[in-house]
Chains A and B, each alone.
Chain A
Amino acid sequence: EVQLVESGGGLVKPGGSLRLSCAASGFTFSNTWMSWVRQAPGKGLEWVGRIKSETDGGTTDYAAPVKGRFTISRDDSENTLYLQMNSLKTEDTAVYYCIPDRGYFQHWGQGTLVSVSS
């Protein structure tokens, strides 16, 4: 059974940083492209970015609103995905989900809430 457990969310001031983690199990993490998707309170879904598997180059791709501020990385030895978020803005407030990326998103965890407020 695929399990995705996001953690690391919390309250942070504008301009601050936060690192989210996602512990994955139930599938071959190292072979899997992974994405982050977020959802602001009461709003719709927004793709944040993705990282390819190392065998496919391990490259990353980001949505324009987060490019240059967010960094996705992975530790295949620990089956863990990361999202480093810097220069946070109030509009980054959202629940963040990590998801195996098949283009479509088949498996979702419960997400972790990031609140950016002074």
Chain B
Amino acid sequence: DIVMTQSPDSLAVSLGERATINCKSSQSVLYSSNDQNYLAWYQQKSGQPPKLLIYWASTRESGVPDRFSGSGSGTDFTLTISSLQAEDVAVYYCQQYYTTPFTFGPGTKVDIK
């Protein structure tokens, strides 16, 4: 199975400042035949189901604010919130869909400092 890890476990950022979350996979999720990284990011606010933010490592889902961006390739990925807003307080998960069993990272909790 592909193991997903995230760092940090939690972070507190001032409003308007940048938040950076890292995700690492135990093996590459880059599929060479189409040059796509099979990596997604989700946001989960308290009491709600997760919401898809990013797929193919860097493609923003429709309706997601452009302050959210994804980057990385192979085994190392980053979710960046360029200017943290109050409504961004949530837990963020990465997920690989390169192969089953699909696996998620343990989550990173983002709070306001």
Proximity bits, A94-116, B CB within 8 Å = 1, else 0: 00010000111110111100000
**Residue among B49, B93, B103, B107 having the largest count of chain A Cβ atoms under 10 Å:** B49
Residues of chain A within 8 A (CB-CB) of B97 are: 103-104
Measured CA separation A109–B52 after assembly (Å): 12
Which listed residue, B40, B49, B101, B107, touches A104 by the CB 8 Å rule? Answer: B40
Whether B101 and A47, one on each chain, are in contact in the complex, defined by CB atoms closer than 8 angstroms, is yes
Query: Which B residues lie within 8 Å of A47 (CB)?
Result: 100-104
A44: CB under 8 A from chain B? yes
Number of interface residues of A (CB under 8 A): 19
* Complex alpha-carbon distance, A35 and B52, angstroms: 15
Of A46, A97, A104, A108, the contact of B55 (CB 8 Å cutoff): A104
CA of A64 to CA of B100, assembled, Å = 11
| Contact A111-B49, Cβ < 8 Å, known A45-B95, A104-B40, A104-B95 | yes
Q: Does A61 contact B (CB under 8 A)?
A: yes
Q: Is A63 interfacial (CB-CB < 8 Å)?
A: yes
Q: Are A105 and B50 in contact (CB under 8 A)?
A: yes
Are B107 and A44 interface neighbours, CB within 8 A? yes
B68 at the interface (CB under 8 A from A): no
Q: Judge if B18 is at the interface, Cβ distance under 8 Å.
A: no
Interface: A50 (CB within 8 A): yes
Contacts of B101 in A (CB 8 A): 47, 61, 63-64
B61 within 8 A of A: yes
- Asked if B72 is at the interface (CB within 8 A of a chain A CB), the reply is no
Q: How far is the CA of A104 from the CA of B98 in the complex (A)?
A: 10
Query: Which of B1, B42, B55, B101 has its CB near the most chain A CB atoms (within 10 A)?
Result: B101
**18 A-B contacts, Cβ less than 8 Å apart?**
A44-B104, A45-B42, A45-B50, A45-B95, A46-B104, A47-B101, A47-B102, A47-B104, A61-B100, A64-B1, A97-B49, A103-B38, A103-B40, A106-B52, A108-B50, A108-B51, A110-B49, A111-B49
A interface, CB within 8 angstroms of B: 35, 44-47, 50, 61, 63-64, 97, 102-106, 108-111
